[in-house]
Chain A
Amino acid sequence: GAGVSQTPSNKVTEKGKYVELRCDPISGHTALYWYRQSLGQGPEFLIYFQGTGAADDSGLPNDRFFAVRPEGSVSTLKIQRTERGDSAVYLCASSAGLAGAGYEQYFGPGTRLTVT
């Protein structure tokens, strides 16, 4: 079946602009995660959803970052007033259940965000 998909694959924006990044999880997966990966580093957790609700948003760096998952499937990560430091690859993952129940996370190809 189809894996996790993310759009766009690349996004270049000017400092101060607003961007939206989209994630389509594997069909039927209830848990959805967003991570951010800087060059040469491992991914860092941002937020995860169980169903429609954000179960843990403690990884969001500040209030310019926000994510939604209104119908429990597709999720959108929104970044307001972008800064050059937001440049990174944003990765989305989904799993059939919570990590605590032993479910594997499957990752999408990522969106490379560049803020100029």
Chain B
Amino acid sequence: KQEVTQIPAALSVPEGENLVLNCSFTDSAIYNLQWFRQDPGKGLTSLLLIQSSQREQTSGRLNASLDKSSGRSTLYIAASQPGDSATYLCAVSSGTGRRALTFGSGTRLQVQP
């Protein structure tokens, strides 16, 4: 059974800092990995999708990397802003069994102005 872990559970940084969020998964047989953002009381906004054959994806100040063999992904946020404050969720689509996404519990990010 696929399990996804996100570290740290919560993070508080001053504005302008670069930061890294970590995600690990137990079964490396995945189709893809998605990073999402969730604001309080809201749904999920997809940030980046990395296919299993890819090593990284970039969108603006965000860069996500994938090391499938070691079961790890990182989300790098450059020059953080207060508007980046949210919960960031990592999810994988496993190559065996269930086709739906398996999520981590998220990292709650607070960027202090």
Taking Cβ atoms with an 8 Å cutoff, the residues of A that contact B are 33, 35, 40-45, 48, 55-56, 58-59, 91, 93, 98-102, 104-110, 112
Nearest A residue to B4 via CB reads: A42
Nearest B residue to A42 via CB reads: B103
Taking Cβ atoms with an 8 Å cutoff, the residues of B that contact A are 4, 31-32, 34, 36, 41-46, 49, 51, 89, 91, 93, 95, 98-106
Q: Determine whether the beta carbon of A45 is less than 8 Å from that of B93.
A: no
- The number of inter-chain residue pairs (CB within 8 angstroms) is 72
Selected A-B contacts with CB under 8 Å, 6 pairs: A41-B105, A43-B44, A99-B93, A99-B99, A100-B93, A108-B43
Chain B interface mostly:
strand
Residue from A55, A59, A91, A102 within 8 A of B44 (CB atoms) = A91
Interface centre among B4, B31, B44, B91 (most CB of A within 10 A): B44
Complex CA–CA separation, A19 to B98 (angstroms): 27
Q: Which residues of B contact A112 (CB under 8 A)?
A: 41
Residue from A41, A91, A102, A105 within 8 A of B46 (CB atoms) = A105
Q: Which residues of A contact B51 (CB under 8 A)?
A: 102
Q: Which residues of B contact A40 (CB under 8 A)?
A: 105
Q: Which residues of A contact B43 (CB under 8 A)?
A: 91, 107-110
Complex CA–CA separation, A43 to B46 (angstroms): 14
Q: Determine whether the beta carbon of A104 is less than 8 Å from that of B103.
A: no
Residue from B34, B100, B106 within 8 A of A56 (CB atoms) = B100
Complex CA–CA separation, A33 to B4 (angstroms): 19
Q: Determine whether the beta carbon of A42 is less than 8 Å from that of B105.
A: yes
